[in-house]
């Protein structure tokens, strides 16, 4: 039972947050399942180049996510509702994109699909992108309500997940 106004304000968001995190977990299970169970494309002209590009994209996605996690530190949370006592991060990769961890996951799954030549893994990259676009839109509504300076940050940093895309 909520005891303070802050707990009352955040309780509905936290409930919706659990659903977002559960769906995200299911998508990760789908990604790993498809990766382990699907067959790669056997061969085509340019396969080696596609695989090399895939490795580069997957490493870039991993680096992007790790950079964002390090900037968050112990305040990192999988829930879309803001953690009390935190501040808007505007340095590092957050100067160019507002949700770099989401972009990193999309790029990692895209790169993995290319590196292993597994088309069904590429489908999971699209699913991650669609999901994170929806989750970040919901999250940003909460962030605007929670942080006085978030709307100004949104106006300054145009891209939510991947520059020039979304």
Domain-located, residue 129: yes
pLDDT the model gives residue 16:
65
Q: What is the pLDDT of residues 104-162, one digit of tens each?
A: 999 999 999 999 999 999 999 999 999 999 999 999 999 999 999 999 999 999 999 99
CATH of the domain at 76: 1.20.120.1630
- Those residues with Cβ within 8 angstroms of residue 85's Cβ, 6 or more apart along the chain or in another chain: 75
CA angle (157 as vertex; 108, 123 as ends), nearest 5: 25
Axis crossing angle, helix 47-72 with helix 100-115, rounded to the nearest 10 = 160
pLDDT the model gives residue 51:
96
Domain-located, residue 164: no
Residue 138, domain extent: 5-156
């Amino acid at each position: 039972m909520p005891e303070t106004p802050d707990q009352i304000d955040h309780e509905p968001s936290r409930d919706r947050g659990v659903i977002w995190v559960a769906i995200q977990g299911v998508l990760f299970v789908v990604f790993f399942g498809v990766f382990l169970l699907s067959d790669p494309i056997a061969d085509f002209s340019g396969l080696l180049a596609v695989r090399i590009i895939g490795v580069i994209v997957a490493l870039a996605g991993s680096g992007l996510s790790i950079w964002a996690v390090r900037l968050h530190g112990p305040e990192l949370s999988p829930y879309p509702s803001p953690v009390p006592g935190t501040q808007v991060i505007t340095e590092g990769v957050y100067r160019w994109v507002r949700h770099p961890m989401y972009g990193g996951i999309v790029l990692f799954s895209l790169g993995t699909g290319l590196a292993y030549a597994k088309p069904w893994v590429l489908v999971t990259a699209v699913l991650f992108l669609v999901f994170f676009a929806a989750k970040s839109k919901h999250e940003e509504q909460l962030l605007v309500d929670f942080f006085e300076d978030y709307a100004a940050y949104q106006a300054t940093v145009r891209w939510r997940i991947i520059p020039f895309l979304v």
